[in-house]
Structures are given as structure tokens and as C-alpha cells.
Amino acid sequence: MIAKPFKGPGGTAVNPPSGQTVTTGALSVTSMPSGASIVLDGADSKMTTPATLTGVSAGSHTVLLGLTGYADAQQDVTVKAGVTSTLQSVLTKEPDASKPPVEPSNPPVQPSEPPVTPPAQVETTLHVTSTPGSAAIILDGKETGKLTPSTIVVASGSHTISLRLTGYAVATRTVSVAKGNQTSLFVSLTTIAAVPSGSLRITSAPAGATVSIDGKAMTGKTPLTLSVALGHHTVQVALHGYETYARSGVEVVKGIQTVIAAPLVAIPVDLSYANSVGGFGFKYPSTWQIVQSQGSTQLLASAEARSPAGPSVRVRVVPLNGGTVQTYLADLTAELEKLPGLTVTGTGSRTVGGIIYQHLVTLRAGSQTEYCLLQSGGNVYELQCTAEVGLLNAATRGFQTILGSFFAAP
């Protein structure tokens, strides 16, 4: 049965912005009872009454309302540009098909009686409260825009209610609501346990450097005071034009502020080093220093460059005696694997500055060593970069400068 409108379509004028022509209007749709689905011109609006449809083109439209237990209601309405039209309908309850009407063979004549006004339909509602209050209410995964305590109109049946409040764990409950009734739901929210933390202050010279804790970039620049979890952490301080400062094992304890002062070292121009005995040379950052070089009486020579942060690069020249750099690498790997407490973590090749090196990395007692091997003139040139675990990356720039500029006599 088609429902009868109890209020004809009307309109509320909307003043458009100056210089613009309005070609659409809005349509406010209500029904008794509410909760009916709204189909506009055959397209499901995904909305239920009461609701206002916006952006409706001006002209004549057909609205179909549907609600379980009630006959569909269809009505035409005209929408004017720049106007909010209204449509209100009283839905007619469908008869119970399980109880067909009994028609007497000789029905008595009943006196005329005035029509009976149907009682107003009772909405199906859910009253949600929480402690503490002001929690956002999410109904079946969708935001309602309401905070506890609130009463929301729902369809009968089972629903999932989630409550969200900053500082508290999200609480989710399932509740069944009977048609035409109001069901109450109370939820006691649980606070989120705070992770014990302490204070860590990082300064640098010069200031304005970025800070990373355990590989995660922090907001702000030095000097910086942070609240971090208790325990041991790795701190890195970086500033453009300066070597990255890194420190592992920084302990943060409760009730005491841990302070890290990072003296940043400027990255200067490269310097050159040549070894006439060994027949090799390389460039290195001037913040590094050549700390060892064997005398010219040695047939072959070695040299060591060390950076202020601790990493060192050692160069050795070893005769191949008819072998190749690949066989040397295999022999070196086998010898290293025999050393107690040492682990070979990777082998292969590496290209830096156009030079291809045979490459492997070892780990022992908290330090890493990276080997790069180059064959030239019957000799193998072995370059080792050794640093504390976690600090090898800080030495990468200087090590790559040496690798990329290394040269050996044929």
C-alpha cells in the first residue's frame, strides 16, 4: 500500500553566493516510523529517515521509502534550485499474512463511527553511557558523531558498539535491540597502561642537529629533551656538513636525566696519501689521520688511517704467488671462520668509485670489520674498515672516500 503524506512538500530558500547560479536543491525526508530506506529515482541513497539529501537536481523526482513490516511508500516530489524541499510520510503496517481475515456470511451492519487516528509509532533506540563519559560512539563500524551519554535511533536486531576515548583502550560490545524498545548499554573504559619512561637530553656542537633513537627519527633539533622508554638505546646525531655522531648502549633510568653531548666533526676536503714502498695511494678525509706506516726497508708495506670517532681503515699488500683475488678471498674466509667467537656475515663483490672489490664482513665481540680486496700486479690489496657495532655506518663516508680513490701500482 502506498503511504499517505501527512505534510506536502515545502521548501526553505537558500541564498546562493553572489555571482553563482544554483542548479540543485536539497530534499528533507522523514517518515513515521523512522528508519526507512530512501530510494531516489530508483537509486539507493544509502540513507534512512530522517535524512536530508543534498545536491538533488532541480525538477520532478520519485521517492520510495521501505521499512520491514510496512508497505513501501512511493511519492513524487518537485525539487527547486536553491531550495530545501520536505517530504513526510506515514508508513502503513502490512497485515499479518498468517492470520487471514474472517468474512462472516451475513456481516451485521455497523453504525458509522468516526475514523480512529493511529497511535504514534515508537522508535527503536539505544542509550549508551560510559565511565568516564565523552567517549565517541561508533555504531557497526561507522561514526555516529555522538559522545556518551547519548541515545541513538537504531534498527531492531544485533549491533556492534565501539567506544573510543583518548588515553583509554577501545571498548567493543555487541547488543541486541528489540523493535520499538529502548535498550541501555553501559561500558566502563579501561585506561591504557603507560610505558615506563625516563628523560634523555641531547645537545650538539654546533646545535640544530637531527636526532634518531634506535633508528627512529625524533621531532625537533638539538638541544632536545625527550621522554623515552627505560633501558638501553642507540643515539645518532646528524647535521649536514658534519660526520654523523653515533653512540650505542645509552642507558635511560627512572628519575635521572641522561645527557648526551655530541661534538660534531666537520667534513673537510680530502687529503692524499701515497706509499712508495707498497706502491699504493688513496685520498682520505682530513679528520682522519695516517697513524702507521712501515719503513721503506720492507718489501711490501701497510698503512692505517684512523678517524676521531674510532673506526679505522688498514691497508695491507699481500703477494698472491700465482693465485687470484678469488682464491685469496676463499682462503681468507676459511682462516677467519677458524677464529673463536668470529662470524663471517657476508661475502660477494662491491663496486665503489668504479672499482670492483671482493667483499666480506665479520662480526666479533661487539665490533664489525668490512674487508675489500683488490688484485693488482700479482698482489692483493686488502682494505679493512673496523668499527664498533652500530658505528660502522658513521665511518661509511670516510671509508668510501678511501675505497673510491684507492690506486695501486701495476
Give per-10-residue mean pLDDT for the chain (410 aa): 42 54 82 87 86 87 86 86 84 71 57 61 86 93 92 92 91 91 91 82 94 92 92 92 87 92 82 82 84 60 80 87 90 90 85 86 86 87 84 72 79
- For residue 131, the enclosing domain spans 125-188
Residue 80 lies in a domain: yes
CATH number of the domain where residue 284 is located: 3.40.1000.10
Q: Are residues 399 and 307 in the same domain?
A: yes
The verdict on residue 116 lying in a domain is no
Whether 275 and 258 share a structural domain: no
Would 119 be classed as within a structural domain? no
Q: Would residue 254 count as lying in a domain? A: yes
| pLDDT for res 32 | 86
182 and 205 fall within a common domain: no
* Whether the Cβ atoms of residue 188 and residue 132 lie closer than 8 Å to each other: no
142, HSE (Cβ side, Cα atoms, 13 Å) = 7
For residue 109, tell me if it sits in a domain.
Answer: no
77 and 39, same structural domain? yes
Q: Quick one: 336 and 393 in the same domain?
A: yes
Q: Are residues 184 and 201 in the same domain?
A: no
Question: How buried is residue 14: exposed, middle or buried, by Cβ count under 10 Å (0-12/13-18/19+)?
Answer: middle
Instruction: Respond yes or no on whether the N-terminal peptide bond of residue 149 is cis (omega within 30° of 0).
Output: yes
- Do 274 and 402 fall into the same domain? yes
Specify if 130 maps to a domain. Answer: yes
Q: 97 lies in a domain?
A: no
pLDDT of residue 386: 87
Tally of domains within the chain: 4
What gap in Å lies between CA 392 and CA 310, rounded to an integer? 10
225 shares a domain with 181? no
Closest CA to 326 of 299, 356, 354: 356
Q: Residue 92 and residue 343: Cα distance in Å, rounded?
A: 82
Identify the pLDDT of residue 106: 59
Q: Cα–Cα distances in Å, from 35 out to 32, 70, 149, 201?
A: 9, 11, 21, 58
Query: How many DSSP H helices and E strands does the chain contain?
Result: 2, 33
Whole-number Å distance between alpha carbons of 44 and 62: 12
State whether 232 and 294 are in the same domain.
no
From 68, 90, 112, the end of a domain falls on: 90
Report the side by side order of strands in the sheet with 43-48. Answer: 43-48, 37-40, 59-66, 73-79
Coil/strand/helix, residue 158:
strand
Assess whether 164 and 183 both reside in one domain. Answer: yes
Residue 119, CA distances (Å) to 74, 271, 295, 349 in order? 22, 97, 111, 87
Question: How far from 19 is each of 15, 16, 22, 364, CA to CA, in Å?
Answer: 11, 8, 10, 77
Pairwise CA distance, residues 332 & 79, whole Å: 86
* Omega before residue 263 within 30° of 0, cis: no
DSSP 393: G
| Domain harbouring 252, CATH code | 2.60.40.1120
Where do we find the cell 621531532?
219
pTM of the model: 0.38
Q: How many angstroms separate the CA atoms of 169 and 163, rounded?
A: 9
Tell me: do 392 and 293 sit in the same domain.
Answer: yes
Same domain for 290 and 365?
A: yes
Domain's final residue, options 188, 215, 234: 188
Q: What are phi and psi of 336, to 5 degrees?
A: -65, -35
Neighbouring C-beta atoms of residue 275, cutoff 10 Å: 21
Residue 45 sits in a domain whose CATH number is 2.60.40
Residue 242 lies in a domain: yes
Domain-ending residue, one of 240, 263, 286: 263
Residues 6+ apart with CB under 8 A from 299: 277
